[in-house]
Amino acid sequence: MFERIWHMLVKEFIQLKRDRWARFRLIVPPLVQMLVFGYAATFEVYHVPTVVLDRDHSQESRELISRFSFSDRFRVVKIARSDAEVEDAINRSDAALAIVVHAGFAELLLKGQSAPLQVIVDGTNSNTALIALGYLNLIVQQYAADYGADLLRRGVGAPGAGIVQVGIEQRPWYNADLNGRWFFVPGVVGSLTLVLVVSLTASAIVREREIGTLEQIMVTPIRPAEYILGKTVPFFIIGLAEVALVALFGTLWFGVPFVGSPLILLLGTCLFLLSTLGLGLLISTLSKTQQQAFAANFFVLNPMFTLSGFAFPIASMPEPLQWLSYLNPLSYYLVVIRATFLKGVGLDALWPDLIGMTLLGSLLLGISILRFRKSLD
Amino acid sequence: MSAPAAAQIEVAGLVKRFAGVAAVADLEFAVAAGEIFGLVGPDGAGKTTVMRMLAGVMPPESGRIVIDGIDVIADPERAKQHLSYMPQRFGLYEDLTVDENIRFYADLFEIPRRLRDERIGPLLAASNMAPFRRRLAGQLSGGMKQKLGLICALIHTPRILLLDEPTTGVDPVSRRDFWRILYSLRESGVTILISTAYLDEAERCTRLALLHQGRLKYCDTPRRLKQLMPGVLLTIASPDARAVRDTIAGLEGVSGVLLVGDGVRAVVDDEARRLPELRRALASAGVPFGAVARTEPTIEDLFVALLRQDEEAA
Ligand SMILES: Nc1ncnc2c1ncn2[C@@H]1O[C@H](COP(=O)(O)OP(=O)(O)O)[C@@H](O)[C@H]1O
Ligand SMILES: [Mg+2]
């Protein structure tokens, strides 16, 4: 069993060594794309997932929070009861923004004083964070103005309370200077790996089918699992090398910090590669020609990329599309890779994503191994 | 159709359809140990489909295939230990060298290194491939590619060899090498099933099966098949072969009119009656012609005549 896989591996690597075009494809386009995305643009945001902690429990605090709930820029995903819950929601990327209303908020407002509001943004996705902060400011100012007008009309409150202020105390937790590149560079690592590994895997087996070498292989005693492993393990190794190459380039060129644990990134990358290999194999079992495989890649990879949260926050997507992200290994991997690069959070926060990738990977690999037949039709 | 006693390959009721169209229909034949059995027929006759089913890489729709006592349909993997199959299309890796390809296939069959190296030498020598061991397979000529394919197919010393048009597009020298290897394999007891579109090659087989539109039309030794020749083959020498062809083409009892090097060949149903008619027709048309001679038919002549006869009957 292992010997035949080993012979397959040797063969694959000899072929790769002779394939100059493949080596070029593995190195140059990923680095170019890294550069392009590194200097990327900004994006509109909607439905920023928001966690709220109300310590004041007043009419006023509820009114302010409801304004966030009704805005299409924000979506309150959680009402927290403690600081720990707030922190948790941000770490797990359940929320990108936290609003904390301190106790005494209403009292201060009533006195016409500046009532501080604590806002914590997950600066990992700095584009979202910056734009969201802008909208948050708008809502808060509108609230303060309405509140002041109301006070005047009712003639209550302290004299001279015409100008009520709600102060915002921003506290970005991660990516403290809200650098867009920092957000994009880890994302590029993930998306490039996805595209590269899926398309390489898919075309590798289809190519053998198309040029006829698979027919010759079929009359040997090799087992389907041996053949599949022999074909995919090289891409697993290539995928790992690719992540290392692109990540290293991104950190060195753009100075993106890497604050997390390399081991967790390695684990996440291995699980992610499992899913990408599985997907590539599935495409290869469904395609008869390289052209079909290419078309399938295009139709699968494009939406995966768009819906992964690479550029557009998943939270700003319509609900059904958000559900799709649970089936998208890239969504999980982006969380893991950004978290390890920028947040440094550990397994306690990332385990759901790691499990998500494990399940998807096993499912895809399992289906394709079962679908692979040592026969022509 | 004599079914040999000790059949190495037995096929019965074999059917394969693609999208409802039968590519192989109700095929039945048997091949004895040590035969070189030829499968001949025009393009699309179903030769490749038969080979693939025998090799266990394409499941038939129905039928029975027994090779070396093993039911190929029930247990293709066990059958693959005993047989070897060379697909019509070159199936080796063009970006690997001759040596690397041979070693790769030897490794897949888990042949111990010592044994492998013992076998490679004579195989390379017999096929005159020894000087090209380090050449990439993709840079070999058509004939050398086929010889490499044969070496890889023989590395696990199969008892049955299935060769799908192995000599198509191969230069005459390599073809001769190729057939020399086949004969020596036969002597060592290997049973060979070979498909070919070259009918001159067909004469070298011990027995032939003529396949047409997925059906087995005739199956016998080349000599006995030739006795099936309907009518008599004549060669008419002439300096103006085209005129001869045009003159006799429509005559009654004359068929298969064909230009050859120095004249025209035609099949007549009744020599005694048609020969004078032919001479008369040519003379009255003023077409110059020389000797008219009875000719031993080749397998090609035979199959062309047989297939035409069948078409007319249909
Ligand atoms: N994989 C396939 N799918 C559909 N049709 C096929 C396939 N393989 C062969 N055929 C059809 O079956 C018939 C027999 O083909 P084949 O066995 O290749 O003939 P031969 O080898 O004698 O030229 C042809 O009509 C061909 O078009
Ligand atoms: Mg064929």
Mutation for A interface: B67, B72, B94, B108, most A CBs within 10 A: B108
**pLDDT at residue B109, rounded to an integer:** 94
pLDDT band at A173; cut points 50, 70, 90: low
**3-state DSSP assignment of residue A49:** strand
**Contact check, Cβ <8 Å, B108/A221:** yes
The ranges assigned to domains in chain A are: 2-41+177-376, 48-154
What's the pTM value of the predicted model, to 2 decimals?
0.78
Closest CA to A49 of A356, A246, A335: A335
**pLDDT at residue A42, rounded to an integer:** 45
**pLDDT at residue A57, rounded to an integer:** 92
In chain A, what residues touch B86 (CB-CB under 8 Å)? 216
**pLDDT at residue A374, rounded to an integer:** 81
Q: Is the separation of the CB atoms in B110 and B188 below 8 Å?
A: no
Share of chain A above pLDDT 70, in %: 90
Q: Determine contact: B96 vs chain A, CB below 8 A.
A: yes
Closest CA to B39 of B150, B175, B205: B205
Q: Is the CB of B45 under 6 A from ligand 1?
A: yes
pLDDT band at A26; cut points 50, 70, 90: confident
**pLDDT at residue A44, rounded to an integer:** 53
**pLDDT at residue A163, rounded to an integer:** 54
Topology classification of domain B7-226: Rossmann fold (3.40.50)
pLDDT score of A162 more than 70: no
Q: Is the CB of B23 under 6 A from ligand 1?
A: yes
pLDDT score of A46 more than 90: no
Share of chain A above pLDDT 90, in %: 33
| d(CA B197, nearest CA chain A) in Å | 20
Q: How many residues does chain B have?
A: 314
Helices (H), chain A: 2-18, 20-38, 59-70, 83-91, 105-110, 126-154, 180-211, 213-218, 224-254, 262-286, 290-306, 319-324, 329-338, 347-371
Pick the most confident of A137-141, B34-38, B249-253: B34-38
**pLDDT at residue A171, rounded to an integer:** 66
How far is the centre of ligand 1, averaged over its atoms, from the C-alpha of B58 (Å)?
A: 12
**pLDDT at residue A180, rounded to an integer:** 62
The ranges assigned to domains in chain B are: 7-226, 232-296
- Right CATH for A48-154 from 3.40.1710.10, 3.90.1150.10, 3.30.565.10, 3.30.420.40: 3.40.1710.10
CATH topology match: B7-226 vs B232-296: no
Task: Give the ipTM of the model, two decimals please.
Answer: 0.85
For the segment A284-308, the average pLDDT, to the nearest whole number, is 89
pLDDT score of B2 more than 70: no
pLDDT score of A312 more than 90: no
Rounded alpha-carbon distances, angstroms, from residue A233 to A3, A229, A330: 14, 6, 20
**pLDDT at residue A160, rounded to an integer:** 47
Mutation for A interface: B78, B90, B101, B107, most A CBs within 10 A: B107
Bigger pLDDT: A156 or B153? Answer: B153
The closest residue, in CA terms, to atom 5 on ligand 1 is: B18
**Contact check, Cβ <8 Å, A219/B81:** no
| Mean pLDDT, chain B, whole residue set | 90
pLDDT in tens, B245-295: 999 988 888 888 888 888 898 889 888 888 889 899 999 999 898 888 888
Architecture of the domain defined by B232-296: 2-Layer Sandwich (3.30)
Pick the most confident of A249-258, A302-311, B16-25, B167-176: B16-25
**pLDDT at residue A117, rounded to an integer:** 84
Of A14, A211, A217, the CB nearest to B96: A14
Paired residues of A80 in beta bridges:
A53
pLDDT score of A315 more than 70: yes
* All residues at 6 or more sequence positions from A191 whose CB lies less than 8 Å from its CB, including other chains: A305, A308, A310, A330
pLDDT band at B158; cut points 50, 70, 90: very high
pLDDT score of B108 more than 60: yes
**Contact check, Cβ <8 Å, B89/A212:** yes
Q: Which of residues 142-161 of B touch A (CB under 8 A)?
A: 152
Q: Determine contact: B87 vs chain A, CB below 8 A.
A: yes
pLDDT score of A159 more than 50: no
